[in-house]
Amino acid sequence: MNISTRLDDIRRAFPACETLAYADISTNNVLSSSAEKQLHQEHLNDLCNTAVDMLSGASADRVSCVWADNHSEFPDVYQAIIIEIAEVGIFLRSASNPTDALCCVCLPTIDIPAFIASARQHLEEIGKDK
Amino acid sequence: MSDISTLHQRLNRLVHGSAIMSGQERILVQDGETDVRCAMRAEIAETQLPRRVTFRNSNDDIISFEVVAGRVIRLVEPTSASIVGRSEALLKCDDPLCLPKAVSFFAQNATRLSVETERLDKSRASLEFGIAMDTIFEQSSLSGMPDLAAAQSDVVTDFLEASRDFCTSGLVLVNGLPVFEFGSEAILTKLNRLAERETVGFRTSQSTEVVSHYTSQCVVYSGHPIGGQSVICVSHTKSLGFATVSNDALGTVIEFWKSHAE
């Protein structure tokens, strides 16, 4: 199954997910996207920048030190969620290919645990498809 | 700067990005439920790329600015003659001192505000520094805004007290001062260190250019999906909260937050 089909499948299963992008966070590039409305490149770039910051950038480093042991390296962040009154942003990093990530903007009605479980499964499958 | 408030702004831009870039008119204030000047200021602060930002009020007056990096470059057409007429040759003189009067007249008694944005040539705007928003919105600083915190119970403390059985540690700061905490000393030391950094960004965003319509936010960072932990950062008006929780209990705690933040 190709990437765009997987992204469309996720959105079909979760209509409250309005925007979905598959990105390489090591190069800060969106590789594929699926959205209710047509997206501009700078919109996607913003989404990817946020994913990089939260999953592997300064924000991730600052927060992951909270659960790091004194003598170990900072553990990686594999998931970040921003919950607001009007929207929910979800950023998932692949456990098998840590440079792969899904960036999602959803309505607040989204079932977050169910969505994350499904999206993560697809994210790991994308790594196997490649 | 990469803190909770900045992430909030980013998400806000992401979500509204399509409408902003497509030039669609968006309603910012309806029936006077929000201060028009605060809404204008917030819209300008969130406009980072070069844009012509055109506001329309309930009298159908128009005020239009060239904006980049959250700062106004100049007043431009199609600003209404009724607004321009308040200060002769305003569109030509670029005098920053004229702008507060124009904004003040535009916002006076307005109960409705809409905005339309249009792309600008990047090279045209990128070399200019712009006018500080404290100059333009001189009478609408944050100190003039209603104190939401005083009118509401402390949502963050209530949330963390309710989540205590599911979280391994928790810390709440109101106006930068710790008011509630639980967990081991070791983890609380780390949370306090994290809180110090977040509080700096939070205070900065409250006292300068950024005025947000959305006052509550929850940001969750999680480690490995199997057996990992999560760090929860919540903000609501003047309160900040931090907690650690195992990924297994994260769904429950998120539901607690959603029910408290509504």
Q: Is the pLDDT of residue B225 over 70?
A: yes
d(CA B67, CA B129): 10
Helices (H) and strands (E) in chain B, counts: 11, 10
Kindly state whether B11 is in contact with chain A, defined as any CB-CB distance less than 8 angstroms: yes
Residue B119 banded pLDDT, cuts 50, 70, 90: confident
Q: Is the pLDDT of residue B26 over 60?
A: yes
Q: Show the DSSP H helices in A57-111 as ranges.
A: 58-64
* Nearest residue in chain A measured CA to CA from B191: A66
- Tally Cβ neighbours within 10 Å of residue B86: 14
At B106 the pLDDT is 87
Kindly state whether A30 is in contact with chain B, defined as any CB-CB distance less than 8 angstroms: no
Q: Do B218 and A80 touch (CB under 8 A)?
A: no
**CA separation, residue B75 to residues B39, B49, B94, B108, B234 (Å):** 18, 17, 7, 18, 38
What is the value of ipTM here, to two decimals? 0.94
Interface test with A, best of B11, B215, B244 (most A CBs within 10 A): B11
**Nearest to A96, CA basis, from A65, A130, A64:** A130
Interface test with B, best of A20, A39, A59, A72 (most B CBs within 10 A): A59
Q: For chain B, what is the mean pLDDT?
A: 74
Q: Do A83 and B218 touch (CB under 8 A)?
A: yes
In the stretch 83-112 of chain A, residues with CB closer than 8 A to chain B read 83-87, 89, 95, 105, 108, 112
Strands B51-57 and A79-84: what pairing? unpaired
Kindly state whether A46 is in contact with chain B, defined as any CB-CB distance less than 8 angstroms: yes
- Residue of B60 and B101 predicted with greater confidence: B60
Q: What torsion, rounded to 10 degrees, do the Cα atoms A25, A28, A30, A35 define? A: 80
pTM of the model: 0.63
Kindly state whether B254 is in contact with chain A, defined as any CB-CB distance less than 8 angstroms: yes
- Give the HSE-up count for residue A17: Cα atoms under 13 Å, Cβ half-sphere: 25
Angle value at C-alpha B110, between B13 and B90, nearest 5 degrees: 80
Q: Return the top range by mean pLDDT from A22-36, B76-90, B146-160.
A: A22-36
Q: Is the pLDDT of residue A73 over 70?
A: no
Q: Return the top range by mean pLDDT from A116-125, B81-90, B183-192.
A: A116-125
What integer is the mean pLDDT of B238-248? 89
d(CA A32, CA B9): 24
Q: What percent of chain B has pLDDT over 70?
A: 65
d(CA A104, CA A106): 6
| Tokens linked to B94 | 């670029």
Report the range of poorest mean pLDDT among A25-34, A41-50, B28-37, B95-104.
B95-104
What integer is the mean pLDDT of B115-135? 65
Any residues with CB less than 8 A from the CB of B109 and at least 6 apart, and which? none
Kindly state whether B228 is in contact with chain A, defined as any CB-CB distance less than 8 angstroms: yes
Backbone angles phi, psi at B208, to 5 degrees: -120, -120
Report the range of poorest mean pLDDT among A7-21, B16-30, B115-129, B203-217.
B203-217
Cα A55 from chain centre: 9
Q: Is the pLDDT of residue B1 over 50?
A: no
- Residues from chain A contacting residue B15 (CB–CB below 8 Å): 86-87, 105
Q: Please enumerate, as own/partner, the contacts of B144-147 that have beta carbons within 8 Å and a separation of 24 or more.
A: B145/B35, B145/B38, B145/B211
At B177 the pLDDT is 78
Kindly state whether B167 is in contact with chain A, defined as any CB-CB distance less than 8 angstroms: no
**CA separation, residue B84 to residues A68, B38, B52, B104, B106 (Å):** 59, 21, 17, 12, 10
Q: What torsion, rounded to 10 degrees, do the Cα atoms A127, B2, B4, B7 define? A: -60
Strands A29-35 and B177-182: what pairing? unpaired
The widest CA-to-CA distance across chain A, in whole angstroms, is 47
Q: Is the pLDDT of residue A13 over 90?
A: yes
Q: Is the pLDDT of residue A24 over 60?
A: yes
What integer is the mean pLDDT of B239-254? 91
**Nearest to A91, CA basis, from A120, A111, A68, A66:** A120
- Residues from chain B contacting residue A57 (CB–CB below 8 Å): 2
Out of B8, B21, B224, closest to residue A95 by CB: B224
The widest CA-to-CA distance across chain B, in whole angstroms, is 68
Kindly state whether A69 is in contact with chain B, defined as any CB-CB distance less than 8 angstroms: no
The structure tokens 């905490």 sit at: B181
At B14 the pLDDT is 53
Instruction: Classify residue A41 by burial, with Cβ atoms within 10 Å: 0-12, 13-18, 19+.
Output: exposed
Q: Is the pLDDT of residue A31 over 90?
A: yes
| Tokens linked to B199 | 């509080």
Q: Hey, is B72 helix, strand or coil?
A: strand
Per the rule left: phi > 0, alpha: psi between -120 and 50, beta: everything else, B202 is: alpha
What integer is the mean pLDDT of A83-103? 92
- Tally Cβ neighbours within 10 Å of residue A129: 11
Q: Is the pLDDT of residue B61 over 80?
A: yes
In the stretch 49-88 of chain B, residues with CB closer than 8 A to chain A read 49
- Residue of B1 and B63 predicted with greater confidence: B63
What integer is the mean pLDDT of B98-106? 79
Residues B151-204 pLDDT 10s: 345 888 999 999 999 999 999 988 777 888 999 988 898 898 888 776 554 544
Q: How far apart are the first and last CA of chain B?
A: 28
Q: Is the pLDDT of residue B12 over 60?
A: no
| Tokens linked to B64 | 């239009």
Length of chain A (residues)? 130
